[in-house]
Structure 1
Amino acid sequence: MRKTFSILLSSFLLVAGCSHKQDDKPKQEPRSTDSTKTKDTDIKQGSYKYPLTGIGTKNSADSRAIAIMINNHPKARPQTGLSKADVVYEMLAEAGITRFLAVYQSEKPEQAGPVRSARDYFVKLAKGFNSIYIAHGYSPDAKKLLKSGYIDNLNGIQYDGTLFKRSSDRKAPHNSYITYSSIEKGAKMKSFNLTGAPRAFSFLNAKQLKELQGDPAGTISVSYGSASFDDTYAYDNAQGKYKRYTNNQQTVEYKTGASILLDNILVIEAHHKIIDSYGRRDINFTSGGKGYLFQKGKVNKVEWKNVHGEIVPFRNGKEAGLVPGKTWVNIIPDHPGLAGSLSYK
């Protein structure tokens, strides 16, 4: 059975006179924050849990999240470090090109990139995780946020050639990389705290995983209007995870060829608005909206909400539990004007 919804296109959008500023302090829903605190008797059992993956650990899971802008231009593929990210957000920048915000907390990438420039809506998502934000360059609105001290950040504009290194096998702007050791060095230079875990997502327990219901969804297709940025996810029954493809090329690690394997795919609709003649846009992450949550080869319709700055799926008025592991979030427009569609079977 195939289910499809599409967001149709119109080639012109109203730009003049439209304010794109959003309330940086949206109404928040209460949620648990106890994922990194357990009783002493539980520590021996490894019941600390990483807040963004739900994976157990015997050690404290209180490290601060790092959010890195990752280039998704065809000339930047394959990328480095995506397999280590707990959550990756994919959304449009300009000219129908998508870009990634990779959030790291349970694992630290030895190297990540290519690193690309900031947009204000990516910055706001990173803020929701209380993360240190890493980018190379910025749009005018993103620059204002970063210069204001809105979020702790390291930017390649200031540290090109020092904290950020250029590779010789690719051409700028597709060749800027940063290592985790450089992030630690930069954080120390700027007196950023490297502890303070983000709020935890909710996760399914073993019983709930066995009883997980939903419509069949072994193959997922997300279109951004161009084959170069169209995504496909294929469920691998043997591994119990989704593999990801863009333009029919599997998403893998650049140096090792390791597959990007995912436990949760969340596709949400959000309001997009073009804000200038260059084609920059604003994406509203405060209003909530429709979404689809794919897990274990199945799909359920959800509503997403902004909870303390995080995008969180809800079902029947309750936070939807995630499968412990890695999550990818595709964000597509909720109205005519820009390409975006989802289908699955």
Structure 2
Amino acid sequence: MAWSGSRRAVLAAAGMSLLAAGCQPNDDEDGRSPFTGEQGAGDKVLAVKIDNVPAARPHTGLDDADIVYTEQVEAGLSRLLAVFASRLPATVGPVRSARESDLELLRQFGHPALAYSGAQSKLLPALEAAPLTPLPPSAVGDAYVRGQDRAAPHNLYLKPARALRKGGDASAPDSIGFRFGAAPEGGRAAEEHTVRYPGARFTYTWSAERRRWLVSMDGSPARTDGGKRLSAATVVVQYVTIRDSRLSDSAGSVTPYSETVGSGKALVLRDGKEYAGRWERSSASGGTSFTDDEGNGISFARGPVWVALAPEP
């Protein structure tokens, strides 16, 4: 379609107004992912709940995730929520059960698909009412396979493409508040940072050669089942309130709830530096912004992002 000179002028003026107001164009407008800032956004958002006890490692397909959230679960252990859009691995896992706080966290993604192995009966009504496409084995059984190299329940794996074909109404990637671009001014040199939960820890070590933060879990380098080291271009430590939920596991341990609506302190790691700031998310359906102490947005490095939902200091 040919555009008239007047229409081009109007659009150009609108763009200049946005820049003057301090707004940044959305990365997806030029084909970039709103989750990684890299070319290729993907068509649908798929979140997968990943097991993370030692018996569940090494993971499969986690290196293809755009975003990996780490969170505290029962007994102080950790679990992962991996978000895929730009790339889908052939297989991902091992897959475990959903948690109540996942529903709040995922609201900012619109209507994503969520793959999980099951959930407590008290949580099922909330899962069914949430604005997402649930993809448990009961809904897409042939999209799951059992591995033979480890014991259940740490051997359930998802075939993402097969699952999305059956749960086809997941929304496309859109902004959740991340900004990508040149590193902010200031910051403090950082070679390593550790996030601790009562029964787990994650360490991120800067590799200048790879321009990535290399991930370690509980003191050991984190790798895929193919031997690839897990890494992130940006690590966000989002300090949140972690409170007891209304649920507990079969052993009686109360399920923690990580509150991701609200505001709090944050630490952004990129390019071998750490930047102190704050996070804010005013509503469940809104995205999360990360700013410095003066209110300026903190841009992320382009590439995979790991977000640690860490206990408030």
Question: TM-score normalised to the size of structure 2?
Answer: 0.83
The Cα shift of 1:159 comes to 4.1
Whole-angstrom CA distance in 2 between matches of 1:140 and 1:322: 39
Which amino acid in 1 is paired with 2:132? I
Question: TM-score normalised to the size of structure 1?
Answer: 0.76
Q: 1:4-153 to 2 correspondence within 5 Å?
A: 34-37=26-29, 47-57=30-40, 61=41, 63-130=43-110, 131-153=112-134
Q: Which runs of 5+ in 1 are unaligned?
A: 1-30, 38-46, 335-340
The Cα shift of 1:139 comes to 2.9
User: Quick check: 2:28–2:174 contact (8 Å CA) kept in 1?
Assistant: no
Are the structure 2 counterparts of residues 281 and 261 from structure 1 closer, same or farther at C-alpha, using a change threshold of 3 Å? closer
Are the structure 2 counterparts of residues 194 and 278 from structure 1 closer, same or farther at C-alpha, using a change threshold of 3 Å? closer
Counterpart for residue 203 of structure 2: 232
Cα deviation, 1:50-103, whole Å, max 9, x if unaligned, reads 11111135xxx3512111101101110011111001110001111111111101
Are the structure 2 counterparts of residues 212 and 33 from structure 1 closer, same or farther at C-alpha, using a change threshold of 3 Å? closer
Q: 1:176-191 to 2 correspondence within 5 Å?
A: 176-187=156-167
Q: Does 1:321 align with 2:296?
A: no
Counterpart for residue 198 of structure 1: 174
Residue aligned with 1:288, SS: strand
User: Quick check: 1:123–1:133 contact (8 Å CA) kept in 2?
Assistant: no
Q: Does 1:279 align with 2:259?
A: no
Cα deviation, 1:215-252, whole Å, max 9, x if unaligned, reads 111111111123xx211111111111110111221111
Higher RCO (Cα < 8 Å, 6 or more apart): 1
The Cα shift of 1:204 comes to 4.0
Counterpart for residue 217 of structure 1: 190
Q: Does 1:242 align with 2:219?
A: no
User: Quick check: 1:81–1:110 contact (8 Å CA) kept in 2?
Assistant: yes
Aligned residue-pair number: 283
User: Quick check: 1:64–1:198 contact (8 Å CA) kept in 2?
Assistant: no
Whole-angstrom CA distance in 1 between matches of 2:229 and 2:84: 17
Cα deviation, 1:107-152, whole Å, max 9, x if unaligned, reads 1111110001001111222231121111111134532222225311
* RMSD of Structure 2 on Structure 1 (CA): 2.2
Q: Which runs of 5+ in 2 are unaligned?
A: 1-22, 247-251
